[in-house]
Amino acid sequence: MLDTGLCRLRLDPKLFWELSLVEFTAMTGAFAPRPARFRRDGLEMLMRAFPD
């Protein structure tokens, strides 16, 4: 967490120690929307397009 907060996010140490765990987690992008997962119909479409 120290490496991420102080080095990667370049937070001021005072700000880093004042953050709640939820705030820190949000800053790392953990709550960002994820892309849709690959589904069976997508696989079947690829299998038809590339039958080899």
Torsion of CA 45, 46, 50, 52, to 10 degrees: -110
Q: How far apart are CA 20 and CA 3, in angstroms?
A: 16
For the cut 90, the answer to whether the pLDDT of residue 11 exceeds it is yes
Longest dimension (CA), the chain: 58
Place of tokens 């001021």: 12
For the cut 90, the answer to whether the pLDDT of residue 35 exceeds it is no
Q: What's the pTM value of the predicted model, to 2 decimals?
A: 0.60
Find the mean pLDDT for residues 44-51: 93
